[in-house]
Structure 1
Amino acid sequence: MTAASPRTPAEIAELLAFYASAGVDDALEDTPINRFAEPTAKPAERRPAERAPAAPRREAAPESRTAPERAPERVENPPAPLSGLDASNIPDAPARAPAAAVPDEAQALLARQLAARATTLDELRQYMAAFDGCNLKFTAKNLVFADGNPNADLMLVGEAPGRDEDLEGLPFVGRSGRLLDRMLGAIGLDRTSAYIANVIPWRPPGNRTPTPHETEICRPFIERQIELVNPKVLVNLGGPSAKTLLNTTEGILRLRGNWRVHTTASGIAIPAMPTLHPAYLLRTPAHKKLAWRDFLEVKAKLRALG
């Protein structure tokens, strides 16, 4: 194969630059190439084949080798990590990713230990306020623990506080909170006859969705909170709350309106009704009728349980 022999070093450099800009990070050739060989071995193996017709050029190789060898190096260096030819890049990628995305398992274990240690809601709140294992705490203004009556038969759990909740330190006090108050009022309840909390007690920056790792770190706290309140009926406001506390992957539109069971660590089974989050209802008013049906089910269940 001598079709490439007429190409000049400048043409080869331009071709390699084109391949690099097009995302090409590996080459296929007619003959096998040892990717683990010394970097200087490849130019030494290829160039005699390309310049074999002219014997004198082999003596001049040290002078002509400089230009074509530097040009490919400038082109090949950027995509080298993608091709995986540089063995030093292999351990770096998996080593950096977990440190940025995966929380310390010791912090998750500490959260479980602190939650189990709490015997009252006041103790649980103190443990949560002192807990530094969740990164959300350092960007939030306040711990949003709960609101309402801890002796109520009904407990409602959302996902995470928003801006207004973060400022006041209470759950559901913004627009979605006012809608929730009206929904409770429609079945004859208010914040003095219900207890309201969130899976995540700290506001995520910019109201972003909490990561699965953040949710898992905070899960022991909300599960212990439910266990200490021991309501007769639990309402999961929105898909994240339902998925976390009911151990399911189904979407909220499939879950809502169907009674499920939340089982506490002590084995107590609490009837749970997944329903649409008030914030979702503000964006999709046509689905308020679905939430109304769910709350009628909750009212009937509370009445049946006395």
Structure 2
Amino acid sequence: MGWSERQRLMLAEMGLSVWVPDATEEMAVVADAPRPTPAPGPAPARAAPVATGAPRDPQSATPAVPVDHPASTATSPVAALDWPALREAVAACRACGLCEGRRNTVFGVGNERAHLMVVGEAPGEQEDRKGEPFVGPAGQLLDSMLRALNLTRDPGPPERQVFIANTLKCRPPGNRNPEPEELARCEPFLQRQLALVQPRVILAMGRFAVQALLRSGEPIGRLRGRVHQYQGVPLVVTYHPAYLLRNLPDKAKAWEDLCLAAQILSD
């Protein structure tokens, strides 16, 4: 699909409050579809919990949507914290059982007023050791992709340096999938980071980041390639780098997603 056509779709998509159903082709550029409104009566059934016995599979075809997430954390004490206080709150957090096995919390890195904010899923073993998101082979791949767009996590001006954070600040044991309760407990920290950074574009990498920000259980392949909105901020969906290391053909799709994010930044 040509960029000129994509640009026309972006202009139509950005700022829309009405969402329309998606098309059948995974690569089609389409608008989001709302989750159906439950009929009056008994509470609707919740999605099945994420399996906890195996390492994370960021691109499962039937992801579980996190439940019990607050619609807003405006009333949470976290919503009033500045950067130093937020860092201290994350480091001292014992809101869920993940605190028992962590070596380090993984707060985030980058420019605190970056134009692009990257949101990942949960720390792995190497992130837990270093206390920094996206390290090891997955982090090297992300850094290479960012460098190709003249972006970096290293010190630099806001327009060139990104801010990188995860939905969870502590590593799940054995790199298992995050549980809904863990995501809900950690969500105020991510929401406050987004509010403080005030990015021009958000890049959501992996299904748990997408679920946390878009409240969608749709597969990544159906959501990528178009512009979504998170509280008025353009949001682009793409695959997690750890997934791309196992599925090399999809690296071209992820590159398209980064180019889409860069295109929005340049507009």
Same fold (TM over 0.5): yes
Partner of 1:143: 105
Given that 1:262 and 1:271 are in contact with CA atoms closer than 8 Å, whether structure 2 keeps it comes out as yes
Partner of 1:283: 246
Cα offset, 1:188, TM superposition: 1.2
Instruction: Say whether 1:207 aligns with 2:175.
Output: yes
Cα offset, 1:133, TM superposition: 1.1
User: Which stretch of the first structure deviates more once superposed, 250-259 or 200-209?
Assistant: 250-259
CA distance in 2, matches of 1:298, 1:222: 20
Instruction: Say whether 1:231 aligns with 2:193.
Output: no
SS of aligned partner of 2:140 = helix
Letter in 2 for 1:280: Y
Alignment of 1:100-139 (within 5 A): 113-118=76-81, 120-139=82-101
CA distance in 1, matches of 2:100, 2:225: 37
Structure 1 length-normalised TM:
0.60
Q: 1:247 aligns with which of 215, 219, 228?
A: 215
CA distance in 2, matches of 1:185, 1:247: 30
CA distance in 2, matches of 1:199, 1:299: 22
SS of aligned partner of 2:76 = helix
Letter in 2 for 1:131: C
Given that 1:111 and 1:218 are in contact with CA atoms closer than 8 Å, whether structure 2 keeps it comes out as no
Q: 1:258 aligns with which of 202, 209, 226?
A: 226
Cα offset, 1:116, TM superposition: 1.6
CA-to-aligned-CA distance 1:216-275 (integer Å, 9 cap, x gap)? 111111011111111100000111101111121211111111110111xxxxx1100010
CA distance in 1, matches of 2:75, 2:255: 36
CA distance in 2, matches of 1:276, 1:300: 18
Query: How many aligned positions are there?
Result: 191
Letter in 2 for 1:147: V
Alignment of 1:26-45 (within 5 A): none
SS of aligned partner of 1:203 = coil
CA-to-aligned-CA distance 1:19-71 (integer Å, 9 cap, x gap)? xxxxxxxxxxxxxxxxxxxxxxxxxxxxxxxxxxxxxxxxxxxxxxxxxxxxx
Partner of 2:143: 181
Structure 1 alignment gaps of length 5 or more:
1-104, 264-268
CA-to-aligned-CA distance 1:129-181 (integer Å, 9 cap, x gap)? 22211111111100100011112100000010111110000001111000000
Structure with larger Rg: 1
Letter in 1 for 2:184: E
Cα offset, 1:111, TM superposition: 11
Structure 2 alignment gaps of length 5 or more:
1-67, 155-160
Instruction: Say whether 1:216 aligns with 2:184.
Output: yes
SS of aligned partner of 2:123 = coil
Letter in 1 for 2:129: L
Partner of 2:257: 294
Structure 2 length-normalised TM:
0.69
Cα offset, 1:117, TM superposition: 2.8
Given that 1:223 and 1:245 are in contact with CA atoms closer than 8 Å, whether structure 2 keeps it comes out as no
Given that 2:73 and 2:79 are in contact with CA atoms closer than 8 Å, whether structure 1 keeps it comes out as no
Q: Which has the higher contact order (CA 8 A, sep 6+)?
A: 2
Over the matched positions of the two proteins, sequence identity in percent amounts to: 43
